[in-house]
Structure 1
Protein backbone atom coordinates (compact mmCIF):
# COMPACT_ATOMS: atom_id res chain seq x y z
CA UNK A 1 0.00 0.00 0.00
CA UNK A 2 1.17 3.56 -0.74
CA UNK A 3 0.64 6.69 1.34
CA UNK A 4 0.07 10.08 -0.32
CA UNK A 5 -0.37 13.29 1.63
CA UNK A 6 -2.94 15.55 -0.05
CA UNK A 7 -4.20 18.02 2.52
CA UNK A 8 -1.03 19.29 4.11
CA UNK A 9 -2.85 21.97 6.12
CA UNK A 10 -4.91 19.29 7.89
CA UNK A 11 -2.47 16.39 7.61
CA UNK A 12 -4.66 14.09 5.50
CA UNK A 13 -3.28 10.96 3.86
CA UNK A 14 -4.62 8.65 1.16
CA UNK A 15 -3.64 5.01 1.67
CA UNK A 16 -3.98 3.15 -1.61
CA UNK A 17 -2.70 0.47 -3.94
CA UNK A 18 -0.46 1.63 -6.72
CA UNK A 19 -2.23 3.88 -9.27
CA UNK A 20 -0.23 3.49 -12.44
CA UNK A 21 -1.03 6.85 -14.00
CA UNK A 22 0.20 9.72 -11.76
CA UNK A 23 -2.32 12.05 -13.41
CA UNK A 24 -5.13 9.72 -12.32
CA UNK A 25 -3.78 9.80 -8.77
CA UNK A 26 -3.79 13.60 -8.86
CA UNK A 27 -7.40 13.58 -10.08
CA UNK A 28 -8.47 11.17 -7.36
CA UNK A 29 -6.85 13.35 -4.70
CA UNK A 30 -8.41 16.48 -6.19
CA UNK A 31 -11.91 14.96 -6.17
CA UNK A 32 -11.63 13.87 -2.54
CA UNK A 33 -10.39 17.29 -1.49
CA UNK A 34 -13.00 19.17 -3.55
CA UNK A 35 -15.85 17.01 -2.22
CA UNK A 36 -14.68 17.53 1.36
CA UNK A 37 -14.48 21.30 0.84
CA UNK A 38 -18.00 21.42 -0.61
CA UNK A 39 -19.36 19.41 2.29
CA UNK A 40 -17.59 21.53 4.89
CA UNK A 41 -19.07 24.64 3.27
CA UNK A 42 -22.64 23.30 3.42
CA UNK A 43 -22.26 21.66 6.83
CA UNK A 44 -20.62 24.82 8.23
CA UNK A 45 -17.85 22.84 9.93
CA UNK A 46 -14.06 22.68 9.73
CA UNK A 47 -12.27 19.68 8.32
CA UNK A 48 -10.95 17.22 10.92
CA UNK A 49 -7.19 16.92 11.37
CA UNK A 50 -5.01 13.92 10.49
CA UNK A 51 -7.65 11.98 8.57
CA UNK A 52 -6.60 8.80 6.78
CA UNK A 53 -8.63 7.71 3.75
CA UNK A 54 -7.99 4.09 2.85
CA UNK A 55 -8.97 2.75 -0.55
CA UNK A 56 -9.20 -0.97 0.06
CA UNK A 57 -10.85 -2.92 -2.75
CA UNK A 58 -10.81 -6.10 -0.65
CA UNK A 59 -13.56 -4.61 1.52
CA UNK A 60 -17.19 -5.30 0.65
CA UNK A 61 -18.47 -1.98 2.04
CA UNK A 62 -17.03 1.45 2.93
CA UNK A 63 -16.81 2.53 6.57
CA UNK A 64 -16.25 5.58 8.75
CA UNK A 65 -14.25 4.33 11.72
CA UNK A 66 -15.93 5.84 14.78
CA UNK A 67 -12.96 5.65 17.14
CA UNK A 68 -10.18 6.34 14.64
CA UNK A 69 -9.43 9.25 12.25
CA UNK A 70 -10.01 6.88 9.36
CA UNK A 71 -12.41 6.34 6.44
CA UNK A 72 -12.26 3.17 4.36
CA UNK A 73 -13.57 3.12 0.79
CA UNK A 74 -14.09 -0.09 -1.16
CA UNK A 75 -14.19 1.18 -4.76
CA UNK A 76 -11.49 1.36 -7.39
CA UNK A 77 -9.72 4.74 -6.97
CA UNK A 78 -10.37 5.81 -10.57
CA UNK A 79 -14.07 4.94 -10.58
CA UNK A 80 -14.68 8.54 -9.67
CA UNK A 81 -18.48 8.49 -9.41
CA UNK A 82 -18.30 5.65 -6.89
CA UNK A 83 -15.40 7.36 -5.15
CA UNK A 84 -17.45 10.52 -4.51
CA UNK A 85 -20.57 8.50 -3.70
CA UNK A 86 -18.80 6.45 -1.02
CA UNK A 87 -16.72 9.30 0.36
CA UNK A 88 -19.65 11.75 0.66
CA UNK A 89 -21.57 9.16 2.69
CA UNK A 90 -18.74 8.29 5.08
CA UNK A 91 -17.57 11.90 5.40
CA UNK A 92 -21.13 12.82 6.38
CA UNK A 93 -20.80 10.41 9.33
CA UNK A 94 -17.40 11.92 10.11
CA UNK A 95 -18.81 15.48 10.19
CA UNK A 96 -21.72 14.42 12.41
CA UNK A 97 -19.10 12.79 14.64
CA UNK A 98 -21.46 11.49 17.30
CA UNK A 99 -19.43 10.28 20.32
CA UNK A 100 -22.39 8.22 21.62
CA UNK A 101 -24.73 7.55 18.70
CA UNK A 102 -28.39 7.14 19.58
CA UNK A 103 -29.10 3.48 18.90
CA UNK A 104 -32.72 4.09 17.99
CA UNK A 105 -31.78 6.59 15.29
CA UNK A 106 -28.82 4.95 13.54
CA UNK A 107 -31.06 4.20 10.56
CA UNK A 108 -31.98 7.89 10.33
CA UNK A 109 -28.35 8.99 10.21
CA UNK A 110 -27.72 6.35 7.53
CA UNK A 111 -30.58 7.72 5.40
CA UNK A 112 -29.27 11.28 5.81
CA UNK A 113 -25.74 10.25 4.79
CA UNK A 114 -27.12 8.36 1.79
CA UNK A 115 -28.82 11.64 0.85
CA UNK A 116 -25.45 13.34 1.27
CA UNK A 117 -23.96 10.99 -1.35
CA UNK A 118 -26.66 11.86 -3.86
CA UNK A 119 -26.71 15.60 -3.15
CA UNK A 120 -22.94 16.11 -3.36
CA UNK A 121 -22.55 13.91 -6.44
CA UNK A 122 -24.87 16.33 -8.21
CA UNK A 123 -23.02 19.32 -6.78
CA UNK A 124 -19.75 17.96 -8.10
CA UNK A 125 -21.47 17.50 -11.45
CA UNK A 126 -22.02 21.26 -11.74
CA UNK A 127 -18.70 22.33 -10.19
CA UNK A 128 -15.81 23.67 -12.27
CA UNK A 129 -13.22 20.93 -11.89
CA UNK A 130 -10.63 22.68 -14.09
CA UNK A 131 -8.97 19.46 -15.30
CA UNK A 132 -10.10 18.72 -18.88
CA UNK A 133 -10.59 15.00 -18.23
CA UNK A 134 -12.65 15.64 -15.09
CA UNK A 135 -14.67 18.35 -16.81
CA UNK A 136 -15.75 15.78 -19.42
CA UNK A 137 -16.29 13.11 -16.79
CA UNK A 138 -18.30 15.16 -14.30
CA UNK A 139 -21.61 14.64 -16.12
CA UNK A 140 -21.28 10.99 -15.04
CA UNK A 141 -21.64 12.21 -11.45
CA UNK A 142 -25.15 13.48 -12.18
CA UNK A 143 -26.06 10.34 -14.15
CA UNK A 144 -24.79 8.13 -11.33
CA UNK A 145 -26.79 10.10 -8.77
CA UNK A 146 -29.92 9.91 -10.91
CA UNK A 147 -29.50 6.16 -11.35
CA UNK A 148 -29.84 5.70 -7.60
CA UNK A 149 -33.46 6.84 -7.83
CA UNK A 150 -34.39 4.20 -10.39
CA UNK A 151 -34.36 1.11 -8.17
CA UNK A 152 -37.88 0.01 -7.25
CA UNK A 153 -38.92 -1.44 -3.91
CA UNK A 154 -40.01 -5.07 -4.04
CA UNK A 155 -42.74 -4.20 -1.53
CA UNK A 156 -43.94 -0.58 -1.75
CA UNK A 157 -44.32 1.11 1.62
CA UNK A 158 -45.23 4.52 2.91
CA UNK A 159 -42.63 6.54 4.80
CA UNK A 160 -45.28 7.91 7.16
CA UNK A 161 -45.66 4.41 8.61
CA UNK A 162 -42.17 4.48 10.11
CA UNK A 163 -43.04 5.66 13.62
CA UNK A 164 -45.97 3.20 13.85
CA UNK A 165 -44.75 0.08 12.07
CA UNK A 166 -42.23 -1.97 14.05
CA UNK A 167 -41.55 -4.22 11.06
CA UNK A 168 -40.35 -1.25 9.00
CA UNK A 169 -38.23 0.06 11.90
CA UNK A 170 -36.72 -3.39 12.34
CA UNK A 171 -35.89 -3.59 8.63
CA UNK A 172 -34.32 -0.11 8.66
CA UNK A 173 -32.20 -0.98 11.70
CA UNK A 174 -31.02 -4.24 10.12
CA UNK A 175 -29.99 -2.40 6.96
CA UNK A 176 -27.65 -0.03 8.85
CA UNK A 177 -25.04 -2.81 8.76
CA UNK A 178 -26.16 -4.58 5.59
CA UNK A 179 -24.50 -4.26 2.14
CA UNK A 180 -27.92 -4.06 0.43
CA UNK A 181 -30.25 -1.36 1.69
CA UNK A 182 -33.51 -1.14 -0.29
CA UNK A 183 -35.53 0.42 2.54
CA UNK A 184 -32.84 2.99 3.44
CA UNK A 185 -32.32 3.82 -0.24
CA UNK A 186 -36.05 4.29 -0.72
CA UNK A 187 -36.18 6.61 2.30
CA UNK A 188 -33.22 8.60 0.99
CA UNK A 189 -35.03 8.98 -2.34
CA UNK A 190 -37.76 10.79 -0.41
CA UNK A 191 -35.44 12.83 1.84
CA UNK A 192 -32.88 14.07 -0.73
CA UNK A 193 -35.32 16.42 -2.55
CA UNK A 194 -35.97 18.19 0.76
CA UNK A 195 -32.25 18.97 1.05
CA UNK A 196 -32.16 20.03 -2.59
CA UNK A 197 -34.98 22.49 -1.94
CA UNK A 198 -33.46 23.68 1.36
CA UNK A 199 -29.66 23.21 1.16
CA UNK A 200 -29.26 25.26 4.35
CA UNK A 201 -30.47 22.14 6.17
CA UNK A 202 -27.02 20.60 5.81
CA UNK A 203 -25.76 23.05 8.45
CA UNK A 204 -28.08 21.34 10.95
CA UNK A 205 -27.11 17.77 10.12
CA UNK A 206 -24.19 17.85 12.54
CA UNK A 207 -26.73 18.32 15.35
CA UNK A 208 -27.82 14.70 14.89
CA UNK A 209 -24.92 13.99 17.26
CA UNK A 210 -27.15 15.29 20.06
CA UNK A 211 -29.93 12.74 19.48
CA UNK A 212 -30.54 10.97 22.79
CA UNK A 213 -31.31 7.33 23.56
CA UNK A 214 -33.68 8.63 26.21
CA UNK A 215 -35.96 9.98 23.48
CA UNK A 216 -37.81 8.19 20.73
CA UNK A 217 -36.61 8.90 17.19
CA UNK A 218 -39.73 11.02 16.66
CA UNK A 219 -38.96 13.06 19.79
CA UNK A 220 -35.35 13.55 18.67
CA UNK A 221 -36.45 14.86 15.27
CA UNK A 222 -39.06 17.12 16.87
CA UNK A 223 -36.34 18.65 19.08
CA UNK A 224 -34.02 18.91 16.07
CA UNK A 225 -36.78 20.74 14.18
CA UNK A 226 -36.42 23.69 16.58
CA UNK A 227 -33.04 24.46 14.98
CA UNK A 228 -34.47 24.89 11.47
CA UNK A 229 -38.15 25.13 10.55
CA UNK A 230 -37.51 23.33 7.24
CA UNK A 231 -36.79 20.14 9.19
CA UNK A 232 -40.56 20.01 9.56
CA UNK A 233 -40.70 18.68 5.99
CA UNK A 234 -38.62 15.66 7.02
CA UNK A 235 -40.79 15.13 10.10
CA UNK A 236 -43.95 15.39 7.99
CA UNK A 237 -42.54 12.81 5.59
CA UNK A 238 -42.08 10.32 8.45
CA UNK A 239 -45.06 11.15 10.62
CA UNK A 240 -48.49 9.56 10.16
CA UNK A 241 -51.17 11.93 8.99
Structure 2
Protein backbone atom coordinates (compact mmCIF):
# COMPACT_ATOMS: atom_id res chain seq x y z
CA UNK A 1 0.00 0.00 0.00
CA UNK A 2 1.38 3.45 -0.91
CA UNK A 3 2.16 5.95 1.85
CA UNK A 4 -0.71 8.34 0.84
CA UNK A 5 -3.20 5.45 0.81
CA UNK A 6 -1.96 4.18 4.17
CA UNK A 7 -2.32 7.69 5.61
CA UNK A 8 -5.89 7.96 4.27
CA UNK A 9 -6.79 4.67 5.95
CA UNK A 10 -5.26 5.78 9.23
CA UNK A 11 -7.02 9.16 9.23
CA UNK A 12 -10.41 7.58 8.51
CA UNK A 13 -9.97 5.00 11.25
CA UNK A 14 -9.10 7.74 13.75
CA UNK A 15 -12.10 9.87 12.71
CA UNK A 16 -14.47 6.92 12.99
CA UNK A 17 -13.08 6.04 16.41
CA UNK A 18 -13.48 9.58 17.71
CA UNK A 19 -17.00 10.11 16.35
CA UNK A 20 -19.96 8.80 18.38
CA UNK A 21 -22.16 6.32 16.54
CA UNK A 22 -25.36 8.00 17.69
CA UNK A 23 -26.26 11.65 17.65
CA UNK A 24 -28.85 13.46 19.72
CA UNK A 25 -30.01 15.70 16.88
CA UNK A 26 -30.42 14.88 13.21
CA UNK A 27 -27.97 16.53 10.87
CA UNK A 28 -28.06 15.37 7.25
CA UNK A 29 -24.76 13.62 6.50
CA UNK A 30 -24.84 14.74 2.87
CA UNK A 31 -26.35 17.43 0.69
CA UNK A 32 -27.62 16.28 -2.69
CA UNK A 33 -27.10 18.49 -5.74
CA UNK A 34 -28.55 17.40 -9.07
CA UNK A 35 -26.30 18.16 -12.03
CA UNK A 36 -28.78 16.66 -14.52
CA UNK A 37 -32.10 18.37 -15.11
CA UNK A 38 -33.61 15.84 -17.54
CA UNK A 39 -35.01 12.82 -15.66
CA UNK A 40 -37.27 11.17 -18.20
CA UNK A 41 -40.21 13.45 -17.53
CA UNK A 42 -39.83 13.54 -13.73
CA UNK A 43 -39.48 16.97 -12.15
CA UNK A 44 -35.95 17.53 -10.78
CA UNK A 45 -37.50 18.71 -7.51
CA UNK A 46 -39.26 15.35 -7.14
CA UNK A 47 -36.08 13.39 -7.87
CA UNK A 48 -34.32 15.56 -5.30
CA UNK A 49 -37.03 14.74 -2.76
CA UNK A 50 -36.51 10.99 -3.31
CA UNK A 51 -32.73 11.27 -2.93
CA UNK A 52 -33.07 13.45 0.17
CA UNK A 53 -35.40 10.82 1.63
CA UNK A 54 -32.74 8.15 1.09
CA UNK A 55 -30.21 10.26 2.96
CA UNK A 56 -32.67 10.75 5.82
CA UNK A 57 -33.48 7.07 6.32
CA UNK A 58 -29.86 5.85 6.06
CA UNK A 59 -28.49 8.53 8.38
CA UNK A 60 -28.69 6.30 11.52
CA UNK A 61 -26.30 3.86 9.84
CA UNK A 62 -23.71 6.29 8.56
CA UNK A 63 -21.59 6.51 11.77
CA UNK A 64 -22.11 10.27 11.88
CA UNK A 65 -19.78 10.72 8.92
CA UNK A 66 -20.12 13.80 6.73
CA UNK A 67 -20.01 13.32 2.98
CA UNK A 68 -20.52 16.98 2.07
CA UNK A 69 -22.17 17.76 -1.24
CA UNK A 70 -22.82 14.75 -3.47
CA UNK A 71 -23.30 15.55 -7.14
CA UNK A 72 -25.94 13.31 -8.70
CA UNK A 73 -26.29 12.94 -12.44
CA UNK A 74 -28.22 10.66 -14.73
CA UNK A 75 -26.42 7.92 -16.62
CA UNK A 76 -27.79 6.24 -19.74
CA UNK A 77 -26.09 2.91 -19.07
CA UNK A 78 -25.63 2.02 -15.38
CA UNK A 79 -25.64 3.53 -11.88
CA UNK A 80 -22.20 4.02 -10.33
CA UNK A 81 -20.21 5.90 -7.73
CA UNK A 82 -17.35 7.53 -9.59
CA UNK A 83 -13.81 7.06 -8.30
CA UNK A 84 -12.83 10.51 -9.54
CA UNK A 85 -14.27 13.41 -7.58
CA UNK A 86 -15.24 16.84 -8.84
CA UNK A 87 -12.77 19.71 -9.05
CA UNK A 88 -14.03 20.75 -5.59
CA UNK A 89 -13.52 17.28 -4.13
CA UNK A 90 -17.20 16.30 -4.20
CA UNK A 91 -18.40 12.74 -4.68
CA UNK A 92 -20.13 12.07 -8.00
CA UNK A 93 -22.92 9.49 -8.18
CA UNK A 94 -24.71 8.42 -11.34
CA UNK A 95 -28.26 7.03 -11.37
CA UNK A 96 -29.66 5.25 -14.40
CA UNK A 97 -33.35 5.15 -13.39
CA UNK A 98 -35.61 8.02 -14.40
CA UNK A 99 -39.24 9.03 -14.68
CA UNK A 100 -41.48 8.68 -11.66
CA UNK A 101 -40.02 5.27 -10.76
CA UNK A 102 -39.23 6.41 -7.24
CA UNK A 103 -38.51 2.93 -5.89
CA UNK A 104 -35.96 2.20 -8.61
CA UNK A 105 -34.30 5.60 -8.21
CA UNK A 106 -34.06 5.13 -4.43
CA UNK A 107 -32.81 1.56 -4.85
CA UNK A 108 -30.00 2.58 -7.19
CA UNK A 109 -28.98 5.65 -5.22
CA UNK A 110 -28.91 3.86 -1.86
CA UNK A 111 -26.72 1.14 -3.41
CA UNK A 112 -24.24 3.81 -4.50
CA UNK A 113 -24.40 5.52 -1.10
CA UNK A 114 -23.37 2.19 0.40
CA UNK A 115 -20.23 2.29 -1.74
CA UNK A 116 -19.39 5.71 -0.29
CA UNK A 117 -20.00 4.40 3.21
CA UNK A 118 -17.84 1.33 2.53
CA UNK A 119 -14.82 3.44 1.55
CA UNK A 120 -14.88 2.16 -2.02
CA UNK A 121 -12.36 4.79 -3.12
CA UNK A 122 -9.70 3.28 -0.84
CA UNK A 123 -9.89 0.00 -2.79
CA UNK A 124 -10.49 0.97 -6.43
CA UNK A 125 -10.69 -1.19 -9.52
CA UNK A 126 -11.06 -4.54 -7.75
CA UNK A 127 -7.45 -4.37 -6.53
CA UNK A 128 -8.24 -6.67 -3.60
CA UNK A 129 -10.16 -9.12 -5.85
CA UNK A 130 -12.96 -8.94 -3.27
CA UNK A 131 -15.02 -6.07 -4.68
CA UNK A 132 -17.77 -8.59 -5.43
CA UNK A 133 -18.48 -8.74 -1.69
CA UNK A 134 -18.86 -4.96 -1.48
CA UNK A 135 -21.30 -5.19 -4.40
CA UNK A 136 -23.33 -7.87 -2.58
CA UNK A 137 -23.32 -5.78 0.60
CA UNK A 138 -24.54 -2.69 -1.25
CA UNK A 139 -27.24 -4.69 -3.00
CA UNK A 140 -28.52 -5.78 0.41
CA UNK A 141 -28.34 -2.21 1.69
CA UNK A 142 -30.43 -0.97 -1.24
CA UNK A 143 -33.22 -3.43 -0.43
CA UNK A 144 -33.04 -2.59 3.28
CA UNK A 145 -33.26 1.12 2.48
CA UNK A 146 -36.46 0.62 0.50
CA UNK A 147 -38.04 -1.08 3.51
CA UNK A 148 -37.05 1.82 5.76
CA UNK A 149 -38.36 4.34 3.23
CA UNK A 150 -41.66 2.48 3.06
CA UNK A 151 -42.02 2.88 6.81
CA UNK A 152 -41.05 6.56 6.65
CA UNK A 153 -43.36 7.42 3.74
CA UNK A 154 -46.31 5.70 5.37
CA UNK A 155 -46.13 8.32 8.12
CA UNK A 156 -44.23 11.29 6.70
CA UNK A 157 -43.73 11.22 2.91
CA UNK A 158 -41.92 14.03 1.04
CA UNK A 159 -45.33 15.18 -0.25
CA UNK A 160 -48.71 14.27 1.29
CA UNK A 161 -49.96 12.67 -1.94
CA UNK A 162 -46.94 10.32 -1.99
CA UNK A 163 -48.15 8.49 1.10
CA UNK A 164 -49.97 5.94 -1.08
CA UNK A 165 -46.68 5.13 -2.80
CA UNK A 166 -45.15 3.71 0.40
CA UNK A 167 -46.37 0.13 -0.23
CA UNK A 168 -44.77 0.21 -3.68
CA UNK A 169 -41.35 0.78 -2.11
CA UNK A 170 -41.74 -2.37 -0.01
CA UNK A 171 -43.18 -4.30 -2.94
CA UNK A 172 -40.16 -3.41 -5.10
CA UNK A 173 -37.82 -4.66 -2.37
CA UNK A 174 -39.77 -7.87 -1.80
CA UNK A 175 -40.03 -8.64 -5.51
CA UNK A 176 -36.27 -8.41 -5.82
CA UNK A 177 -35.70 -10.62 -2.78
CA UNK A 178 -37.94 -13.33 -4.20
CA UNK A 179 -36.33 -13.54 -7.64
CA UNK A 180 -35.36 -17.11 -8.45
CA UNK A 181 -31.73 -16.35 -9.34
CA UNK A 182 -31.14 -14.86 -5.86
CA UNK A 183 -31.82 -18.15 -4.08
CA UNK A 184 -29.19 -20.73 -3.19
CA UNK A 185 -29.58 -24.04 -5.04
CA UNK A 186 -31.64 -26.44 -2.97
CA UNK A 187 -29.52 -28.29 -0.44
CA UNK A 188 -26.42 -26.14 -0.98
CA UNK A 189 -24.83 -24.08 1.81
CA UNK A 190 -23.18 -20.74 1.10
CA UNK A 191 -19.54 -21.88 1.72
CA UNK A 192 -19.90 -24.61 -0.91
CA UNK A 193 -21.56 -22.17 -3.29
CA UNK A 194 -18.75 -19.66 -2.73
CA UNK A 195 -16.05 -22.24 -3.45
CA UNK A 196 -17.82 -23.06 -6.71
CA UNK A 197 -17.82 -19.42 -7.85
CA UNK A 198 -14.74 -18.14 -6.00
CA UNK A 199 -12.52 -17.54 -9.03
CA UNK A 200 -15.36 -16.11 -11.10
CA UNK A 201 -16.12 -13.55 -8.38
CA UNK A 202 -12.47 -12.64 -7.87
CA UNK A 203 -12.02 -11.98 -11.59
CA UNK A 204 -15.23 -10.01 -12.15
CA UNK A 205 -17.19 -8.34 -9.32
CA UNK A 206 -20.21 -8.03 -11.66
CA UNK A 207 -20.11 -11.61 -13.00
CA UNK A 208 -23.26 -13.07 -14.56
CA UNK A 209 -24.85 -9.62 -14.69
CA UNK A 210 -24.63 -9.34 -10.87
CA UNK A 211 -26.68 -12.50 -10.32
CA UNK A 212 -23.94 -13.98 -8.12
CA UNK A 213 -23.75 -10.86 -5.97
CA UNK A 214 -27.48 -11.04 -5.44
CA UNK A 215 -27.31 -14.61 -4.14
CA UNK A 216 -24.91 -13.45 -1.42
CA UNK A 217 -26.98 -10.33 -0.81
CA UNK A 218 -30.02 -12.39 0.13
CA UNK A 219 -27.94 -14.34 2.65
CA UNK A 220 -26.33 -11.40 4.44
CA UNK A 221 -29.33 -9.05 4.51
CA UNK A 222 -31.09 -10.74 7.48
CA UNK A 223 -27.86 -10.84 9.49
CA UNK A 224 -27.32 -7.09 9.29
CA UNK A 225 -31.02 -6.32 9.74
CA UNK A 226 -31.23 -8.42 12.92
CA UNK A 227 -29.09 -5.93 14.86
CA UNK A 228 -30.51 -2.38 15.14
CA UNK A 229 -27.22 -0.73 14.21
CA UNK A 230 -25.80 -3.63 12.22
CA UNK A 231 -25.71 -1.71 8.97
CA UNK A 232 -23.32 0.81 10.52
CA UNK A 233 -20.61 -1.82 10.12
CA UNK A 234 -20.50 -0.90 6.41
CA UNK A 235 -18.45 2.16 7.36
CA UNK A 236 -15.55 -0.03 8.49
CA UNK A 237 -15.10 -2.02 5.29
CA UNK A 238 -12.01 -1.52 3.09
CA UNK A 239 -9.91 -0.08 5.91
CA UNK A 240 -7.42 -2.92 5.96
CA UNK A 241 -4.63 -3.81 3.56
CA UNK A 242 -6.52 -3.17 0.31
CA UNK A 243 -3.62 -2.27 -1.95
CA UNK A 244 -3.07 -5.86 -3.05
CA UNK A 245 -4.77 -9.14 -3.89
CA UNK A 246 -6.40 -10.52 -0.72
CA UNK A 247 -8.11 -13.72 0.26
CA UNK A 248 -11.73 -13.41 1.35
CA UNK A 249 -10.71 -14.60 4.82
CA UNK A 250 -8.18 -11.74 5.12
CA UNK A 251 -10.58 -9.19 3.63
CA UNK A 252 -13.40 -10.05 6.03
CA UNK A 253 -10.93 -10.44 8.90
CA UNK A 254 -9.78 -6.86 8.34
CA UNK A 255 -13.41 -5.73 8.35
CA UNK A 256 -13.98 -7.49 11.65
CA UNK A 257 -10.80 -6.10 13.23
CA UNK A 258 -11.51 -2.52 12.15
CA UNK A 259 -15.14 -2.56 13.35
CA UNK A 260 -15.89 -1.28 16.86
CA UNK A 261 -16.75 -3.98 19.43
CA UNK A 262 -20.51 -3.37 19.35
CA UNK A 263 -20.62 -3.94 15.58
CA UNK A 264 -18.47 -7.04 15.36
CA UNK A 265 -21.21 -9.62 15.90
CA UNK A 266 -22.90 -9.21 12.49
CA UNK A 267 -19.53 -9.01 10.73
CA UNK A 268 -18.39 -12.19 12.47
CA UNK A 269 -21.62 -13.95 11.48
CA UNK A 270 -21.20 -12.94 7.83
CA UNK A 271 -17.61 -14.18 7.84
CA UNK A 272 -18.71 -17.50 9.30
CA UNK A 273 -21.64 -17.75 6.88
CA UNK A 274 -19.31 -17.54 3.88
CA UNK A 275 -16.28 -19.44 5.11
CA UNK A 276 -17.36 -22.04 7.69
CA UNK A 277 -18.16 -25.45 6.27
CA UNK A 278 -21.28 -27.02 7.75
TM-score over 0.5 for the pair = yes
| Distance in structure 2 (CA, Å) of the matches to 1:233 and 1:215 | 20
Aligned to 1:16: 36
CA RMSD in angstroms comes to 2.7
Aligned to 2:141: 116
1:43 paired residue among 62, 67, 83: 62
Which residues in structure 2 correspond to 1:28-107 (within 5 Å)?
28-56=47-75, 58-59=76-77, 61-68=78-85, 69-101=91-123, 102-107=127-132
Contact in 1 for aligned 2:33/2:70 (Cα 8 Å): yes
| Distance in structure 2 (CA, Å) of the matches to 1:224 and 1:131 | 39
Contact in 1 for aligned 2:129/2:203 (Cα 8 Å): no
Aligned to 2:21: none
| Distance in structure 2 (CA, Å) of the matches to 1:195 and 1:38 | 16
Deviation digits for residues 52-92 of structure 1 (CA, Å, limit 9, x no counterpart): 10023x22x11100122210111114210000100000111
Contact in 2 for aligned 1:171/1:183 (Cα 8 Å): no
CA deviation after TM superposition for structure 1 residue 223, in Å: 3.7
Aligned to 1:4: none
CA deviation after TM superposition for structure 1 residue 21, in Å: 7.4
Deviation digits for residues 170-189 of structure 1 (CA, Å, limit 9, x no counterpart): 33345524582111111101
2:209 paired residue among 177, 180, 199: 180
Residue ranges of structure 2 left out of the alignment (5+ in a row)? 1-27, 86-90
- Secondary structure, counterpart of 1:71 in structure 2: strand
- Secondary structure, counterpart of 2:122 in structure 1: coil
CA deviation after TM superposition for structure 1 residue 94, in Å: 1.4
| Distance in structure 1 (CA, Å) of the matches to 2:34 and 2:207 | 26
| Distance in structure 2 (CA, Å) of the matches to 1:28 and 1:85 | 13
| Distance in structure 1 (CA, Å) of the matches to 2:52 and 2:64 | 15
TM (norm. structure 2) is 0.73
Deviates more, 1:78-87 or 1:92-101: 92-101
Judging changes above 3 Å, is the alpha-carbon distance between structure 1 residues 11 and 126 closer, same or farther for their aligned structure 2 residues? closer
Which residues in structure 2 correspond to 1:100-179 (within 5 Å)?
100-101=122-123, 102-127=127-152, 128-153=156-181, 156=185, 157-161=188-192, 165=195, 167-173=196-202, 176-177=205-206
Deviation digits for residues 8-62 of structure 1 (CA, Å, limit 9, x no counterpart): 996642122436978x433321120121132232121334223210023x22x11
Judging changes above 3 Å, is the alpha-carbon distance between structure 1 residues 179 and 31 closer, same or farther for their aligned structure 2 residues? farther
Contact in 1 for aligned 2:62/2:235 (Cα 8 Å): yes
Judging changes above 3 Å, is the alpha-carbon distance between structure 1 residues 155 and 71 closer, same or farther for their aligned structure 2 residues? same
Contact in 2 for aligned 1:175/1:181 (Cα 8 Å): no
- Secondary structure, counterpart of 2:130 in structure 1: helix
